[in-house]
Amino acid sequence: MTVDIPTTATPEVFLSDLKLFANAVDSGSLAGVARALHVSKASVSRQIQRLEATAGHRLLHRGNGRFALTEEGRELLVKIRGPLSAIDEAMSGLASSEVALRGRLRIAAPYTFGRTVVAPTLASFMASHPAVKVTLELSSRKVDLLADEADIAIRVGLPGSDQLIARRLAREGVILCASPAYLALHPAPRTVADLCTHKLLDFRPETGTTHFELVDANGQKQRVVPAHVALHSNEPEVLSIAAMQGAGVAVLPEHFTRKPLADGSLVVVLPGCGLPPLDVHALYAPGRRQSSKIRAFLDHLVALTQA
């Protein structure tokens, strides 16, 4: 008996076409992905054209050897990143479940977070995986993961790219604090508005504005106008030291205040006020061959830091 297939049936999508499309975007050119996969550029073009025919939309604007994503192409890329990465990691896990990890693992992290959180986990990770050579770069520079400058990047705040896989490592509260010596000379603020009479120490980038926005104990945004930010630094530890020396009221992630709060070097100002919590993410490029090492290290890092 012959079975008629409705013409409205969803066209078959080849997984290889989706993976090639994502790899082409990462590579930046069809010729680049052809070289990486050891196939002809014509073969790559045919697969992209087949995917476009299946999708019913042009996915790439081509020209002069390079291309740009169309709106439909960008939408498709965002939706397939996660599933493709999950498939790669599942297959990698099966293939390497009985094989010792080996090779190089390059990690980039902000100086203070890398020194205080990442560094203490390295010795035990290397003991568990002696064939893995680890490189840890501590810098405020944002490495380009898609250009293969590192395997893992630790970043505080928003991940900043929909082309990368992000795993949240921690959520940091942000509070206000000052030294007892500073508060002995300057009346402690009772309201957010009182902060306009104080010197503020801020880890956020300078914006050139004259106001300082916080969230009060009721979760409502409040502006300090005018705001006198006496010190900016992208390293919270610098602000913590300055605050302990009486330089002003610091806005700091809680991680950098635990010890000085415990020993009395700093005290909380306006309890309940601060900034919305900051997320700390580990980022890596999708479809990486070293994903088994990345996954193993991130599992190890999370296990130790959240214990």
What tokens appear for 214 in the block?
């916080």
Does this model's pTM top 0.85? no
Looking at residue 247, its pLDDT comes to 96
Looking at residue 287, its pLDDT comes to 64
Looking at residue 92, its pLDDT comes to 60
Nearest to 122 by CA among 147, 152, 146: 152
Query: Cα(123)–Cα(129) distance, rounded to whole angstroms?
Result: 10
Cis geometry, peptide bond prior to residue 226 (ω within 30 degrees of 0): yes
- Please report how the helices 15-27 and 30-37 are oriented relative to each other, as an axis angle in degrees rounded to 10: 120
- pLDDT one digit per residue (tens) for the chain, 307 residues: 444 444 445 568 888 888 888 888 877 778 877 887 778 888 888 888 899 888 888 888 877 656 788 888 888 888 887 787 677 666 665 555 446 788 889 999 988 888 888 999 999 999 999 999 999 999 878 888 877 788 999 988 777 666 788 888 888 889 999 999 999 999 899 888 888 899 999 887 776 667 778 887 777 888 887 778 899 988 888 999 999 999 999 999 888 898 999 999 999 999 988 888 888 889 988 765 557 888 899 999 988 876 5
Tell me which CATH homologous superfamily contains domain 100-170+280-305: Periplasmic binding protein-like II (3.40.190.10)
Q: Please give the CATH architecture assigned to the domain spanning 15-95.
A: Orthogonal Bundle (1.10)
Alpha carbons within 13 angstroms on the beta-carbon side of residue 292 total 17
Looking at residue 79, its pLDDT comes to 84
What tokens appear for 52 in the block?
């476009």
Domain layout of the chain by residue ranges: 15-95, 100-170+280-305, 172-276
Looking at residue 242, its pLDDT comes to 96
Looking at residue 290, its pLDDT comes to 57
Strand partners, 32: none
Q: CA 207 from chain center: how many Å? A: 22
Query: Cα(169)–Cα(281) distance, rounded to whole angstroms?
Result: 5
Looking at residue 160, its pLDDT comes to 67
One fold for 15-95 and 172-276:
no
Exposed / middle / buried, residue 110 (Cβ in 10 Å: 0-12, 13-18, 19+): buried
Q: Please give the CATH architecture assigned to the domain spanning 172-276.
A: 3-Layer(aba) Sandwich (3.40)
Looking at residue 17, its pLDDT comes to 86
- Rg for the chain (alpha carbons), in Å? 25
